[in-house]
A and B are shown apart, each in its own frame.
Chain A
Amino acid sequence: MSYPEELKYTSSHEWIKVKGDKGVVGITYFAQKELGDIVFVELPETGRQYKAKNPCCVVESVKTASDIYCPVSGTITDVNQNLNSNPELINDDCYGKGWIFEIAISDPSELDKLLSAEDYKNQYTK
């Protein structure tokens, strides 16, 4: 339940849902639980390019600011503006209404390096 099979995961606790040549990105159930109440999201800029594993936005809980790393290289095509007024959507629905950004994937082969739900769950959520 906590780690949907159809998503790919990173060791830094992001997920990506691939739809054609684009991917939707958010943070995992484990990540939002560890952070606690999320109170602020610094969204990336649409149109900006990021390399895989580079920080592209920031999710903040009351206690800490946490960088979000781009799971794959690409260009930001959309961001979840609802998080500006309702950052807690990430706590409430991290794989749904709490999505953070959409990216046009520049190198689909990078997807192969990401983790399956099972591997992510076993290795990074204990």
Chain B
Amino acid sequence: MPQKTPLYDIHLKLGAKLIDFHGWLLPVHYSGIIEEHLAVRSIAGLFDLSHMGEIEVEGEDALKYLNYILCGNIEKLSYDGRIMYCGLLNESGGFIDDLLVYRKSKLQYLLVVNASNADKDYAWMQKHISGFKAEIRNVSLNTGLIALQGPKSGEILYETARRNFNDLFYYHFTESKLAGKPVIISRTGYTGEDGFEIYARWNDLPQIWDSLYPIAFAHGAKPIGLGARDTLRLEMRYPLHGNDIDENTTPLEAGLSWIVDFTKDNFIGKEILVQQKKNGVAKIIAGFVMEDKGIPRSGYEIIQSGEVAGVVTSGTLSPNLSQGIGLAYLNPEKIGRGGDFFVSIHGKERKIRLVKGPFVKSKIYNSHTK
């Protein structure tokens, strides 16, 4: 039986269509994916993300330990309340998971990981902790999570918390209270919009949802399911672990070399990444839009001059562009050669156009965009 989040009853009341998502019973949509997607882009949306995993790391060597198991440099989290996007890599440089690191103090960190990987991540972390004066705790089942995303998020949170978060910038977090309950509020998300992720104790989550929902609803915001979560992230070109990145893809192949700190002495997977940096990669991720009609899907082949040139890892109809978009791994030589690419959809070749950067402009909240 799939597990229920603390908001299960609320989802039923809101008429959600629930699915088994990696062992969790979660809404795939409420009113409809497109309507929900557009609500987040134009107003705001509330997401139940309680399935996400949380792992605490604490101890004298916490920083040293994280710098060994993660590809980024945690020293760059130079003060408490900062957050970093990072990769947990295997010896081949492949993604065991991608995650967020929250610095609570120099000795205390919180890792937010993908639901389906939480147990695997924890086991891997446990395996590599010997020799470090640090402890890890899997607190996934004590930690509930609601995301509030969209241009009206700041107003909705202000009216709910009676406190403004104007000084809380992108990839920063703070402790606060909602509905009288302690929460961690971070200015992060998976949509490209301004917004917050709100962590609370598991059993406190329904009250927190109930304090946010009527205010959000009055603004025209909607509850959002996993379907729109996926279209929102894909329009921003954010990778999804299990689709676009996995144990057989490295940050360099995934276009994420910016998350790797090559100046660090040693970390798991470094050797392979150094080689790839020097010699190049055999496959590289590319974003594309459909020039012809059709919707690309994961697993479809990319064709150039009649030959297979790669495979789609994510694809959908972009609700904002009303056009098929996707991510694919391609042979870099074939990109270099130029020439048209096609995706094979239902046995027919449809033309695509490779594009750089996000498909839709990001509107995150930082000190420059304030």
Q: Tell me the A residues contacting B by CB distance below 8 Å.
A: 36-37, 39-40, 42, 58, 60-65
- Across the interface, do A62 and B346 meet the contact criterion of CB distance under 8 Å? no
> A62 contacts which of B17, B293, B294, B316 (Cβ < 8 Å)?
B316
Q: Is B281 an interface residue (CB 8 A)?
A: no
- 17 CB contacts below 8 A, A to B, read A36-B17, A36-B33, A37-B32, A37-B33, A39-B34, A40-B293, A40-B294, A40-B317, A60-B317, A62-B34, A62-B227, A62-B231, A62-B316, A62-B319, A63-B33, A63-B230, A64-B297
* Contact partners of B28 in chain A: CB under 8 A: 63
- Across the interface, do B295 and A36 meet the contact criterion of CB distance under 8 Å? no
Q: Is B104 an interface residue (CB 8 A)?
A: no
A26 to B45 alpha-carbon distance, docked (Å):
34
Q: A40-B295, A60-B295 are in contact. List 17 more A-B contacts (CB 8 A).
A: A36-B33, A36-B227, A37-B32, A37-B33, A37-B35, A40-B317, A62-B33, A62-B34, A62-B227, A62-B316, A62-B317, A62-B319, A63-B316, A64-B297, A65-B295, A65-B297, A65-B346
Which of A58, A63, A64, A65 has the most C-beta atoms of chain B within 10 angstroms of its own C-beta? A63
Which of A58, A61, A62, A65 has the most C-beta atoms of chain B within 10 angstroms of its own C-beta? A62
Q: Is B270 an interface residue (CB 8 A)?
A: no
Chain A: which residue is nearest B226 at the CB level?
A: A63
> In chain B, residues 224-261, which have Cβ atoms closer than 8 Å to a Cβ of chain A?
227, 230-231
Q: Is B41 an interface residue (CB 8 A)?
A: no
> In chain B, residues 1-33, which have Cβ atoms closer than 8 Å to a Cβ of chain A?
17, 28-29, 32-33
A42 to B348 alpha-carbon distance, docked (Å):
11
- Across the interface, do A36 and B29 meet the contact criterion of CB distance under 8 Å? yes
Which 9 pairs from chain A and chain B are nearest by CB?
A: A62-B33, A39-B317, A37-B34, A37-B32, A60-B295, A40-B295, A63-B227, A37-B33, A58-B346
Given contacts A62-B227, A62-B316, A62-B319, are A39 and B32 in contact (CB under 8 A)? no
A64 to B317 alpha-carbon distance, docked (Å):
10
